[in-house]
Structure 1
């Protein structure tokens, strides 16, 4: 069992995008894409994720977990090679569409495979511990890859993508040393941003029933308004991720320094994740989620005045996202019943993804006109003001009560 888990850690490490992420946007700029086109292709990725979310989950059940993961790794290799070859907006849009297929094939399925493997050996209680260590291995590999990404880019802009293709390919032989699972002990495991319930009370529901549950739950003020509140900041964080590289270049960050910064981002994310429980205990759900309003407003407003403060703001953005996301998910979990919980969480994830994709597409044109630094700063400040008004007007975060089901 110990050997199997270690091999799983190696496989998860092969899922890293550390070579690709630090140079992805500046690479597209070097291939002639402007910010509007970059926003469009990044939006294509998010929209495609929504489209492929259910089909790839179904495919994982039909093919088996291991075969689905293998297919995801093969597609990833093709995607990374495609990045090196693409030289037009259409070409990158196709690559990002395929990248969404690879992403949805691997993410939830990897967790489902692990849960089923542990369950067959009576080790379900080890799921969180093993997953946490696997995520740590992934982050360490991503940080190391990020450090070398910009150096590879300065030698040849395509090298980081071929390196990431090689890393994904290394996961295939490891994957085929792992056993198949039957897919009967974990009927659904959520995507990385919105983990679904995998407890013994979970049970699948039909499409009509799922639609009804989703409609009913999202119509409740205690859920509807927190989703609206989360969507505002998800919009800010998403456009920041897309346009942060051009913004960093505009304040003087060299290409060679991007890899070191992204390695630092990974470490900050890891530390923030480890502090989530302590921060939540200290501030409570309302305190943690309200923290987004003043912190984002000040951080994003500051680099409009002092451009060099952009880099600290990007580190802060990672920490905020890591801390607030699980708190938000727990809040929603507390307000829905076991039956339909996965449906609600998946529905919320899709809503946030669609809003982020739309923001990326529309934001590219604005960023091109006013500059990426001004665009990000204005977006952060305006969204924070809107979220503050929403907080005062509708109280999006509400205390659980006996009447919570109707609130």
Structure 2
């Protein structure tokens, strides 16, 4: 247990290097205010990130399963550092589309792989049930680091607009030496099991078979569809919240302080993920969050100044949503191919969110960012509620005997 605590502490340190606090408070305003791009370009560059992430998720998930989690995570940090460093010197919409694509590949290297690494390290020590709690606390560390760097980013932009991006590039690069201190999944399995069983070979065919298997399972298929609607709302909010807050009278330096507040709220929400799961379960939590989001986003249309507290709420909900979503999926997939399956789920979320960003850019240009966010929130919550009622996307975990099929009696009810 003492050894696991040390590993978890170093994992928290690594997560801190994934913070984008320097970048976040000024990234969209940099494109609109400094570069002079319109809402359509903002939507397109945001969509480019997500579409590139879709293209990269399966290959990077496969690399994580085949060649090692730790090397994949290091590649993700390296690519993020390059993209952020070049952000300060790019000059055209096409250049930012390309940079977002590079950054997306780096992000994909860490998404499913990072979740799979943590779950399997915990599982190797007999603590798989702690995934939501440890993941939530890791996100707390991430949010606290983002809060501190967000305040710094708001101050740095008053000196030079390029400084926040360069500082964030350096922070991402620092994650690589920290990763070298973390164990590989294979070494932890060997330490636990002295049987000397060789690692299974995981091929591209195995990866595709794992994905096909999960698509056939209603408890996975409909959950991912439901989660995609909420994820699309979170991504739309994150893309257009800076123009919306600027329209409500928030200045660029003040955004640094506000984003620090956002991160502190998110940190508290992430830290409570285990508590929420214990008391409400994934189903109970999502049943409350959907109507809450719809009602609060509707208020923006009547009182635009409420966009600030609504963004606070969205950040907290997003931080709860992520570990609960990952716990649900991790509990329902096998160790072999886990990173591929989680990456496949992320791929679907990104594809849906990317499409909404392209359309959202034009809608935000026509409606204005404030009215657009209000409409997007109500529409997303309504669609998620419809899926909830129609197909019951959040379902109990099956026993081992039915983990690969649809033999669970509840699985045959209202699934198609």
Normalised by the length of structure 1, the TM-score is: 0.82
Tell whether the 8 Å contact from 2:135 to 2:323 is kept in structure 1 after alignment.
no
- Pair 1:162-2:166 in alignment: yes
**CA distance in 2: counterparts of 1:111 and 1:400, whole angstroms:** 19
**CA distance in 1: counterparts of 2:358 and 2:58, whole angstroms:** 23
Tell whether the 8 Å contact from 2:140 to 2:268 is kept in structure 1 after alignment.
no
Structure 1 range deviating more: 39-48 or 381-390: 381-390
User: Could you list the runs of 5+ residues in structure 1 that have no partner in the other structure?
Assistant: 188-199
Q: Specify the alignment match of 1:191 in structure 2.
A: none
**CA distance in 1: counterparts of 2:393 and 2:30, whole angstroms:** 40
Mapping of residues 88-99 of structure 1, within 5 Å: 88-99=92-103
**CA distance in 2: counterparts of 1:115 and 1:393, whole angstroms:** 31
Tell whether the 8 Å contact from 2:64 to 2:339 is kept in structure 1 after alignment.
no
Tell whether the 8 Å contact from 2:58 to 2:344 is kept in structure 1 after alignment.
no
Say what the alpha-carbon RMSD is for the aligned residues: 3.6
**CA distance in 2: counterparts of 1:384 and 1:116, whole angstroms:** 34
Q: Specify the alignment match of 2:24 in structure 1.
A: 21
- Pair 1:306-2:292 in alignment: no
Q: Specify the alignment match of 1:153 in structure 2.
A: 157
Q: Specify the alignment match of 2:351 in structure 1.
A: 354
Mapping of residues 391-406 of structure 1, within 5 Å: 391-398=388-395, 402-404=408-410, 406=412
Mapping of residues 159-308 of structure 1, within 5 Å: 159-174=163-178, 178=181, 181=184, 183=186, 206-208=203-205, 210-308=207-305
**CA distance in 1: counterparts of 2:394 and 2:73, whole angstroms:** 37
CA separation of 1:264 and 1:37: change in aligned 2, threshold 3 A? same
Q: Secondary structure at the match of 2:393?
A: coil
Tell whether the 8 Å contact from 2:136 to 2:274 is kept in structure 1 after alignment.
no
Q: Secondary structure at the match of 1:303?
A: helix
Question: Over residues 352-387 of structure 1, what are the superposed CA-to-partner deviations in whole Å (9 max), with x where a residue is unaligned?
Answer: 111011111111011111101111101111222233
**CA distance in 2: counterparts of 1:3 and 1:226, whole angstroms:** 34
146, 150, 156: which one pairs with 1:142?
Answer: 146
Question: Over residues 313-343 of structure 1, what are the superposed CA-to-partner deviations in whole Å (9 max), with x where a residue is unaligned?
Answer: 1111122222234434444455566676655
CA separation of 1:241 and 1:186: change in aligned 2, threshold 3 A? farther
Q: Secondary structure at the match of 2:18?
A: coil
**CA distance in 1: counterparts of 2:8 and 2:393, whole angstroms:** 41
**CA distance in 1: counterparts of 2:178 and 2:394, whole angstroms:** 44
C-alpha deviation, 1:9, in angstroms:
4.6
Q: Specify the alignment match of 1:197 in structure 2.
A: none
Tell whether the 8 Å contact from 2:136 to 2:271 is kept in structure 1 after alignment.
no
**CA distance in 2: counterparts of 1:133 and 1:148, whole angstroms:** 23
Q: Specify the alignment match of 2:109 in structure 1.
A: 105
Mapping of residues 312-391 of structure 1, within 5 Å: 312-333=309-330, 343-391=340-388
Q: Secondary structure at the match of 1:26?
A: helix
Tell whether the 8 Å contact from 2:21 to 2:153 is kept in structure 1 after alignment.
yes
Q: Specify the alignment match of 2:42 in structure 1.
A: 38
**CA distance in 1: counterparts of 2:118 and 2:395, whole angstroms:** 35
CA separation of 1:369 and 1:118: change in aligned 2, threshold 3 A? closer
CA separation of 1:229 and 1:64: change in aligned 2, threshold 3 A? closer
Tell whether the 8 Å contact from 1:69 to 1:109 is kept in structure 2 after alignment.
yes
75, 79, 85: which one pairs with 2:79?
Answer: 75
CA separation of 1:304 and 1:215: change in aligned 2, threshold 3 A? same
**CA distance in 2: counterparts of 1:333 and 1:72, whole angstroms:** 21
**CA distance in 2: counterparts of 1:342 and 1:179, whole angstroms:** 18
CA separation of 1:102 and 1:341: change in aligned 2, threshold 3 A? closer
**CA distance in 1: counterparts of 2:47 and 2:332, whole angstroms:** 31
CA separation of 1:68 and 1:320: change in aligned 2, threshold 3 A? closer
C-alpha deviation, 1:234, in angstroms:
1.6
Q: Specify the alignment match of 1:190 in structure 2.
A: none
12, 29, 37: which one pairs with 2:15?
Answer: 12
Tell whether the 8 Å contact from 1:115 to 1:186 is kept in structure 2 after alignment.
no
Q: Specify the alignment match of 2:402 in structure 1.
A: none
Q: Secondary structure at the match of 1:237?
A: helix
C-alpha deviation, 1:256, in angstroms:
1.1
Tell whether the 8 Å contact from 2:139 to 2:270 is kept in structure 1 after alignment.
no
Q: Secondary structure at the match of 1:36?
A: helix
Structure 1 range deviating more: 167-176 or 137-146: 167-176
Question: Over residues 78-132 of structure 1, what are the superposed CA-to-partner deviations in whole Å (9 max), with x where a residue is unaligned?
Answer: 212210011111010111111112223345556667788899xx85749858766
